[in-house]
Amino acid sequence: MRFSTGSAAADSRDDFARARRQAQRARVAGRLLGRPGEVDILVPFDEVIAALGRRGERRLGLVAIALDTIVGSVDRLRGFDRRFRPTSELSRTRFERIAQVVRTCGEVPPIDVYRVGEAHFVRDGHHRVAVARAMGWSTVDAYVTEILTEVGASRDLTVADLPFKSHERLFWERVPLNRADRSAIVLSDPWDYGDLAEAVEAWGFRHLQAVAEFLDRRATAQVWFAEEYQPTVRLLRETGLHPGGSDAEAYLRLSAERYRLLRSHEWRPDVIDRLRAEHGSDDRLARTDPPRTGSADEDRA
C-alpha cells in the first residue's frame, strides 16, 4: 500500500496522478532511447490468437497471477499503456473509485483473464489491474481461462513479435513435428521458417519417391527429423562445419551451400571436403567418413 494521508478520496486522487506521471515519463524515456512504440502498448488478444493459432481452451479457476504477466487486453482498449498506467484522463473517475475501495478494505474482486503461454490478457478488470499496479502489488486474483495455441508466448510478448510468431505457426502447420521435438528447431530470422519448410517438403518428396509409399505431413516430418535433420546436425558438428548459431540455422545454411556447390542432396565425403575448402574447419578434428543421413533415395543409389 502506498503512503496514506488518512483520506481515501485524497489518496486515490494522488494514486491516479502518480500513475499518470509515470506513464508520461515512460513515454518520453522511450522516445529518447529510440524504443519502438509498440513495446509500450497493450497487446491485442485477437491478433495474438491469429498469429499463434488456437487449438482449444480450458478453465483453470481462481488463481493468483503475477501482474507482470498481464500484457494485453481482449478489448481494443485505449487509456492505458502496457503496464496499465493511465495515458489520459478518461479512466480517472473509475480508477479513483476503485482505489478508494482498495484503500478502505484492502482488496478488490478477482479479475477475469485469458492465459496464453506465460502471458495474460484481461477480459474484465482493466481498472482493477491499473489500481493494483499503482498500489505496488505484485499479484492479483484472477479467474483464468487458458487458451491452448500452436505456438507459445512469453510474458515479454509485444505487438512487434506477432509477425515472427505467425511465420513460426505456419511452419508447424507445414512441418507438424511432435511437440517434444519442436524445441530443436530455433530460428532467429522469421523468413527462415519458410525456407526450412520448403527444404523439408522437398526432402519429403524425394523420400516418398524412393520408398513408393504415401506418408502424410506428420509422418513425413517425423521421418525427416529422425533420418535427415538429427544425423545432419551431428555430422556438421563432428566435421567442424557447424557455422555457429542454432542447429536449425546451421542445417539450413549448409544444406543450401551443399546444393549450390555440388547440386547434391547427399552428404558424401567429397561434399564434406568441398564445404571444408569453402568455409574452413578446425584441422584438429579427426577426418572421418561422414555418417549416412538415412534418406531412402540415397540408400537405393
Output the CATH code of domain 8-157: 3.90.1530.10
Amino acid at 29: A
DSSP codes joined into one string, 78-136? -SB-TT--B-SSTTHHHHHHHHHHHHHHS----EEEEEETTEEEEEE-HHHHHHHHHTT
Structure-block grid coordinates of residue 65:
497471477
User: What is the percent of the chain where pLDDT is above 90?
Assistant: 53
**Would you say 46 and 116 are in contact if contact means Cβ atoms under 8 Å apart?**
no
84-120, pLDDT tens digit by residue?
999 888 889 999 999 998 888 888 899 999 999 999 9
Confidence band of 258 (pLDDT split at 50, 70, 90): confident
Range among 65-79, 108-122, 151-165 rated most confident: 108-122
pLDDT on residue 286 = 34
Structural domain boundaries of the chain? 8-157, 175-299
Mean residue pLDDT of the chain comes to 85
CA distance 111 to 288: 62
Q: Which residue has the higher pLDDT, 291 or 51?
A: 51
Structure-block grid coordinates of residue 278:
569453402
pLDDT on residue 19 = 84
Structure-block grid coordinates of residue 91:
479512466
127-157, pLDDT tens digit by residue?
999 999 999 999 999 999 999 999 989 999 9
Q: Phi/psi at 17 (nearest 5 deg)?
A: -60, -40
Confidence band of 30 (pLDDT split at 50, 70, 90): low
pLDDT on residue 43 = 92
Tell whether the model's pLDDT for residue 158 goes beyond 80. Answer: yes
E strand or H helix at 72: strand 70-73
| Over residues 177-184, mean pLDDT | 92
CA distance 251 to 243: 9
CB atoms within 10 A of CB 242: 19
- β-strands 70-73, 119-124 pairing: parallel
**Would you say 188 and 236 are in contact if contact means Cβ atoms under 8 Å apart?**
no
**Would you say 149 and 117 are in contact if contact means Cβ atoms under 8 Å apart?**
yes
User: Which of 122, 141, 112, 47 minimizes the C-alpha distance to 79?
Assistant: 122
Confidence band of 38 (pLDDT split at 50, 70, 90): low
**Would you say 51 and 152 are in contact if contact means Cβ atoms under 8 Å apart?**
no
Tell whether the model's pLDDT for residue 77 goes beyond 80. Answer: no
> Which residues make beta-bridge pairs with 144?
61, 113
Tell whether the model's pLDDT for residue 207 goes beyond 60. Answer: yes
Least confident of 187-201, 237-251, 268-282: 268-282
